[in-house]
A and B are shown apart, each in its own frame.
Chain A
């Protein structure tokens, strides 16, 4: 068939699949709070339909590249790999839903899918099918990407499950004052960041570094002392949900802008200049106020959500067990993914490990999940600690995948953001 036709077909199919997943996300979320079983069934159906369409789109894109005389597996740039990531995560999720007969995870998993697809649409990433540079022309690339992303998908589900079990584990959210303290800290961090970013590149770097260290220390603290500090666990949960919720909201705004003027600039420069760094002061203030309000909402309503969900959610042991199953599926996949990448590097450049930032971050991710696997054998490490470890692991996955290219420099090809 004609390459141009196939390319068009795959683009449309991806768009329809994205719509299906968005619908599923909404359905699963409503299902969580209403007791309507029909909604859950509908969500499963839309997800499965979306999955089937996305599978078609994947193969159409593959066929298109052959028809165009390029002949490459559609797994070779940021756009394609994000699509494949969402595909794998939906696949694994459908299996989990079928096996454990639970639908309450759907809202969280499809939330991740929605974020990934929204990012893919808005980031202004290259979507054309172009030839591969010679170094990327290797069968190892295919296995490398396939294995890594299947692994990431399993980790993604473990992350969603862990966020749920963190919510379940935070019994009280502490006194109201600690909520205000959290809010105060958030406001202070934002303000400090704003001030320091104005002081030039070095101060900006120092700010991000300091924030990174602070978050690391907090996570370490929670891992070591977790179950004794349930209000801290809730604070972490609220922060994470605020970030995710904020991103969803910003994307919704962006989408409307995008539909009225398609292809406006790149995500990185655009996302922030239309919100937090908008030249018009009221909009700037509004954006920041929105984040603070969102945090306060999540903080004050989180426990209520929990109490409503208590009836649908599987037991904490079950959540723990799903999370563990997903990591023990994902870790061997990641291991093989790293190894195939390493063998590939050795055939292409004559060195199986060169400590480039992307490689190193994949190793860090691998280390974190190795800690998770070993921590199970430590006495007293369960529930909260394991969930925090799994969350930290997935943060490392995200950083390996997106952060390295956005923040650090490297050799890998997934950089095409600007």
Chain B
């Protein structure tokens, strides 16, 4: 009974059936939109079909119990199959090299006999050199009138299959750890704002099970608007958020090139524990929790405050930063002038030849290339007016001995961070590495064995060369032909 189950579970036929079923089932999940609200499905398929599909788990197919069951079966199949086969492969690899016997001679792939014109010793020398040059690890067996060489290489390739299969198991394990203990949350933060908790869609599986069994207190708090909130052990502070745009020949284009948030991690006392400017492909990880730049939003009705850098023309190291709200004015001691912001615009471009500034409309208030119109006062009298925009680097109309640069617009946007904890990621990545290496070993390599038998007989010395390979047999045959030629070549040449 046990052996029937074992035979079933280790069989390659089961593996093929399981992989095929998983492939076919996966198709369904690409035809039906996954994880939509129930109304969507009723509208799309009608009430009856929607109910039926829901019963089969088609709306979250890849987490449906039967899909997961097939994955588990695949894992069991893999484990049993590997346990079943590994010992014999291992024995085969560890088996000491042995001289060519008649039994073996019948099964080899390549076999060739050469009549050698030199002495027995010379033949041995040649063989040693040749096998070493081809990278075989060898063993020598001496008898009275005969010397036997046995060599092998590429034994690792037999392990490629196990490496690949282990990789798949690791990935499955890592994914399981991730669903049990990991979570995904979001954290919207305005500039200069901090938070000690994040919003979760769902509590991780393991604490959810534990708390529903009453064995552990839930770590999350229900929140009326956003689902669940979960406290962190530290505070996340958003220093600044900015959107950069591509530049083309005529100036900034409407196409964003980067979203970036300056993020700091603070402790209870407000001390900085970590900080980073995160961008879409460059997150910050702190104590196993990773913060990704995932989105942003415009704070409703926000006017924003403009930060300007005023810099002396003579000594560029002397500068002063001021933050001014639209319509307001600020006195700058460095230049003894008062700067007033007359108006602002989200998207301006300067004609490079004439210096004229053109203002464009934007659809959703994107700050593509913001500009300010400034008036500079000496006491109460206006000295001059000028326009400064983000992409100007101190070049515009600056008649006095200082320049003004546009640094940033504060308080317009909030950033949206995705917060992810996945304790299984290390295991998954380990699996990734194995599953990359394994097929290379298994499919490109080959376990090759070569025997060379040198015998003294009546008319001199005869040499038998024989070899086998466990895959890529044609390639091995050409390799052997070359080997034989090299052997002969050295004889006639020497």
Please report A residues at the B interface, Cβ cutoff 8 Å: 68-70, 130-135, 137-138, 140, 209, 216, 321, 328-329, 331-332, 335-336, 339, 342-344, 346-353, 355, 357, 360-361, 363-364, 367-368, 370-371, 373-375, 377-378, 404, 408-409
Contact = CB atoms under 8 A, between A and B. Distances in A.
Given A349-B292, A360-B26, A130 B282 contact: no
A332 B439 contact: yes
Q: Which 4 A-B pairs have the closest CB atoms?
A: A350-B420, A332-B439, A131-B246, A367-B23
Given A134-B258, A363-B26, A408 B280 contact: no
A134 B26 contact: no
Nearest to B439: A332
Given A132-B257, A352-B425, 12 more contacts: A68-B248, A69-B248, A134-B259, A137-B280, A140-B281, A331-B443, A347-B282, A360-B30, A363-B26, A368-B23, A374-B19, A378-B12
A392 to B, nearest CB: 10
Nearest to A358: B30
A209 B31 CA distance: 9
A69 B247 contact: yes
A364 to B, nearest CB: 5
Which residue, of A216, A378, A409, has the highest number of chain B Cβ atoms within 10 A? A378
Interface residues of B, number: 50
B418 interface: yes
Contacts of B184: 350-351
A351 B247 CA distance: 31
Q: Is the interface of B mostly helix, strand, loop or mixed?
A: helix
Given A351-B184, A360-B26, A371-B19, A336 B292 contact: no
B393 interface: no
B12 A377 contact: yes
B16 A133 contact: no
A69 B251 CA distance: 12
Interface stretch (B226-234, B316-324, B428-436, B450-458): B428-436
A357 B175 CA distance: 19
A355 B29 contact: yes
Contacts of A349: 292, 294, 418
A378 to B, nearest CB: 6
Contacts of B175: 353
Interface in B69-107: none
Contact of A378 (B13, B255, B256): B13
B15 interface: yes
A131 B255 CA distance: 8
A153 to B, nearest CB: 17
Contacts of B20: 367, 371
B379 to A, nearest CB: 45
B281 A347 contact: yes
Contact of B255 (A130, A342, A355): A130
B258 A361 contact: no
Contact of B23 (A132, A364, A377): A364
B306 to A, nearest CB: 25
B411 interface: no
Which residue, of B16, B22, B184, B428, has the highest number of chain A Cβ atoms within 10 A? B16
Contacts of A133: 255-256
Contact of B474 (A321, A351, A352, A370): A321
A132 B290 CA distance: 24
Contacts of A135: 280-281
Q: Is the interface of A mostly helix, strand, loop or mixed?
A: helix
20 contacts: A69-B247, A70-B246, A131-B257, A132-B257, A137-B258, A137-B281, A138-B281, A328-B443, A335-B436, A339-B435, A343-B432, A347-B282, A350-B422, A351-B420, A352-B425, A364-B23, A367-B22, A367-B23, A377-B12, A378-B16
Contacts of A357: 30
A134 B256 contact: yes
B197 interface: no
B264 interface: no
A242 to B, nearest CB: 25
A17 to B, nearest CB: 28
Contacts of B13: 378
Nearest to A357: B30
Interface string B1-30: 000000000001101100110111011011
A140 B256 CA distance: 20
A368 B20 CA distance: 7
B262 interface: no
Contacts of B27: 364
A70 B248 CA distance: 9
Interface in B136-186: 175, 184
Contacts of A68: 248
B440 interface: yes
Contacts of A350: 184, 283, 290, 292, 294, 418, 420, 422
Contacts of B290: 350
B383 interface: no
Interface in B216-272: 246-248, 253, 255-259
Contact of B15 (A131, A328, A374): A374
Contacts of A377: 12
B279 interface: yes
B402 interface: no
A375 B22 CA distance: 16
A416 B27 CA distance: 23
A332 B440 contact: yes
Contacts of B247: 69
B331 interface: no
Nearest to B440: A332
B34 A339 contact: no
